[in-house]
Structure 1
């Protein structure tokens, strides 16, 4: 009984943190789409955008909240998965849930792990050098994050790893977006259909939006 109540609370927390991360994905994508502009304009505009985010106090506070949310969401997912397996025991592995659920809904843990692992790589390659490393500056005197990003996406292996992570994210969103509103108790037969359709479009838009950037930069290097 304790686990059921605790799991419900943690699922609500997972839903809230997940929805917050969905909002971040939109904002982050809108900023990254500047990379698709003509090279000189993209460099100046993207670097100015990055400098603004780095120097704005409100954005810094939100960023720290974001980092905490990512960690909290990840550890909650691991905790719930482990506890669910412990409670279900051997029957968990032998049930017929594949008849009533999609493969990606059964692989949320794996998909989330792939995304989290990529975030670690992503932070190491871009966030850490930008914050703490020595970097050249552009014509406006801003740290040249644009050249760092473009240079990374000139490597095919990095583009492939990025694409795998984004596809994992897309499938994670496909199930997670709909699951989140149910965890929060916002279930209604009519509105749930609308939310499910919106979730599909949201997952597809995020996947396509994030995928087009590395392939564009690689092909136009």
Structure 2
């Protein structure tokens, strides 16, 4: 067995892979939140539908998306393997006692938090990604007067459309696109889904607070010089700002849209 093979099959190697995939997923969360904030624009969903098309058709982003899917699977599988190995390595009662005394709740329950997030990812993908890619969302036409910048929107029914068409006719910009914004509105009228999304974001908060710090510790960035900065970013950006930003979307559509 080569040294590299042994490294990645060892406990330390698995933690290293989890750290790298986890930090990659953290980067994705920032980008995804910035894009999804366009849901709050008062433009009948035009900016968000433009964003959805760009994210699914721009070749470099499509390539990165495959890395994202692979990272989710690898992160989940390695987390499961490490959890099983840790339980085999020491008695359950001893581990539970020591964990309760010397570690945070999020640290002791990363398996539970990860399971909630995995169920959330599957639910989220089926509601939006799958339907968007399999004609499960309606189409919409936007007409923008380029002289006044006023936009009107009309749902397109009973016709065949390509995925995305944009052109100008007599100073009127016409955009025909899949209306993922409408799918978001429809999905978040279900209070059960809204509640689940909020709970999942709470789980994400705890998961990120512990995971972000642990990833840097695994990578060797545990010096006292860097620890306060990493802790601040882990708590206030990934533990507070990002989960609140994502949770605000289903709440907004259920109560105000």
Bin for the TM-score computed over the shorter chain: over 0.9
Residue 218 of structure 1 aligns with which residue?
A: 254
Residue 189 of structure 1 aligns with which residue?
A: 224
TM-score (normalizing by structure 1): 0.94
* Maintained 8 Å contact 1:85/1:92: no
Q: Which residues in structure 2 correspond to 1:14-25 (within 5 Å)?
A: 14-25=18-29
* Maintained 8 Å contact 1:166/1:211: yes
- 1:62-107 superposed Cα distances (whole Å, 9 cap, x missing partner): 0011000000000000000000110113454453322221111100
Residue 126 of structure 1 aligns with which residue?
A: 128
* Maintained 8 Å contact 2:8/2:14: no
TM-score (normalizing by structure 2): 0.81
Q: Which residues in structure 2 correspond to 1:48-197 (within 5 Å)?
A: 48-90=50-92, 92-139=94-141, 140-197=175-232
- Cα deviation for residue 200 of structure 1 reads 0.6
Residue 208 of structure 1 aligns with which residue?
A: 244
Figure out how many residues of one structure are paired with residues of the other and give that number: 218
SS of equivalent residue, structure 1 residue 141 = strand
* Maintained 8 Å contact 1:44/1:138: no
* Maintained 8 Å contact 1:50/1:145: yes
Query: C-alpha distance in 1, partners of 2:96/2:54?
Result: 53
* Larger helix proportion of the pair: 1
**Structure (1 or 2) with the larger CA radius of gyration:** 2
| Residues 4, 59 of structure 1: alpha-carbon distance in 2 compared, 3 angstrom cutoff | closer
* RMSD of Structure 2 on Structure 1 (CA): 1.7
SS of equivalent residue, structure 1 residue 138 = strand
SS of equivalent residue, structure 2 residue 176 = coil
* Maintained 8 Å contact 2:7/2:13: no
After TM superposition, the structure 1 stretch with the greater mean CA deviation from structure 2, 41-50 or 113-122, is 41-50
* Larger strand proportion of the pair: 2
The answer for unaligned runs of 5 or more in structure 1 is none
Query: C-alpha distance in 2, partners of 1:53/1:61?
Result: 11
